[in-house]
Structure 1
Amino acid sequence: MKLLQLALAGVLMLCALSPASAKDVPVQFESGHNVTFITDDPGGVIVEFVKKYSDMRDARTKVILSGECVSACTLMLGLLRPELVCATPDAVLGFHSASVITREEGKPDIAEHGSEMSLLVFNTYPAKVRAFLAARGWSGANAHPDIIWVKGRQLRKMIRPCTAADLS
């Protein structure tokens, strides 16, 4: 089990360190800043988000959260520079534990709690986010398939509000 955790951590770190491909380069706006808007991101494969956010961090991309960011999308909290991330009043985060999906031809997909990946994701978050999630029943290692929604005042404790300068 410990060996698997170390191997997964190594894979995540290798993905984070590899250079961006041309399709992952953020758009440059008239302001001269690289900006990405997150408006409706349901999440996805954890390793892909680690790669994407590591590339964005290295490019010093500004991120504006202006809608839903759920599941693996929330990894931005631990992988991006906090000073380059802001949230509009419409921003919402959704957290839950990771799943591992087993696919076999001719059989229905089987989704199971991925304890190692859940723990890796949980430990990527800043301490204040981990404390918030633990207070709501998710410690990282345990299964928590229900989404923990965060918005409004509580979200502003995790991500700074966008200013007029952020949006120009």
Structure 2
Amino acid sequence: MKLLQLALAGVMMLCALMPASAKDVPVQFESGRNVTFITDDPGGVIVDFFKKYSDMRDAGTKVILSGECASACTLMLGMLRPELVCATPDASLGFHSASVITREPGKPDIIEHGREMSLLVWNSYPGKVRKFLAARGWSGANAHPDIIWVRGKNLRKMIRPCTAADLS
């Protein structure tokens, strides 16, 4: 088990060091700032998000959360500098434990709790986020497939509200 966790951590580190693909390059505005708007991101493969956010962190990309950011999308909370991330009043975050999908031709997909990946995600979150999630039933190691949505006042405890300067 420990060997598997170390191998997964190694894969994450290698992915974070690889250069970005063209689709991951942030938008550059006339002001010269790199800004990414998240408006409707359902998440996806955890490794892909570690890579994406590592590239954004290295580029100093500002992130404006203006819609839903769920699942692996929430990894930004632990990977990006807090001063470069803000949320509009319409923003929301959705958290849940990780899943592993086994696919075989001609058979239905098998979806199981991914304990090691859940712990990796859990440990990437800041302490205040882990505390909030634990109070709602997810401790990181346990399966929690239901989405824990965070909006409004609770979201502002995790991400600072956007200012007029952020949006200009």
Please give the TM-score of this superposition, normalised by the length of structure 2.
Answer: 0.98
Indicate yes or no: 2:87 matched with 1:108: no
Instruction: Give the match for residue 165 of structure 2.
Output: 165
Instruction: Give the match for residue 133 of structure 1.
Output: 133
Using the TM superposition, give the Cα deviation of residue 113 of structure 1 relative to its aligned residue in structure 2, in angstroms.
0.2
Structure 1 ranges of 4+ moved more than 2 A: none
Using the TM superposition, give the Cα deviation of residue 37 of structure 1 relative to its aligned residue in structure 2, in angstroms.
0.2
The gaps in structure 2 that reach 5 residues or longer are none
Instruction: Give the match for residue 98 of structure 1.
Output: 98
RMSD across aligned C-alpha pairs, in angstroms?
Answer: 0.7
Whole-angstrom distance in 1 between the partners of 2:27 and 2:65: 16
Residue identity over aligned pairs, in percent, reads 89
Whole-angstrom distance in 2 between the partners of 1:105 and 1:22: 31
Whole-angstrom distance in 2 between the partners of 1:113 and 1:15: 23
Using the TM superposition, give the Cα deviation of residue 31 of structure 1 relative to its aligned residue in structure 2, in angstroms.
1.8
Using the TM superposition, give the Cα deviation of residue 25 of structure 1 relative to its aligned residue in structure 2, in angstroms.
1.2
Matching residue's letter, 2:114: G
SS at 1:37 equivalent: strand
Instruction: Give the match for residue 88 of structure 1.
Output: 88
Whole-angstrom distance in 2 between the partners of 1:151 and 1:22: 32
Matching residue's letter, 1:55: D
Instruction: Give the match for residue 119 of structure 2.
Output: 119
Instruction: Give the match for residue 75 of structure 1.
Output: 75
The gaps in structure 1 that reach 5 residues or longer are none
Using the TM superposition, give the Cα deviation of residue 21 of structure 1 relative to its aligned residue in structure 2, in angstroms.
2.5
SS at 2:65 equivalent: strand
Whole-angstrom distance in 2 between the partners of 1:24 and 1:70: 18
Whole-angstrom distance in 2 between the partners of 1:24 and 1:45: 14
Instruction: Give the match for residue 15 of structure 1.
Output: 15
Matching residue's letter, 1:159: I
Whole-angstrom distance in 2 between the partners of 1:74 and 1:24: 17
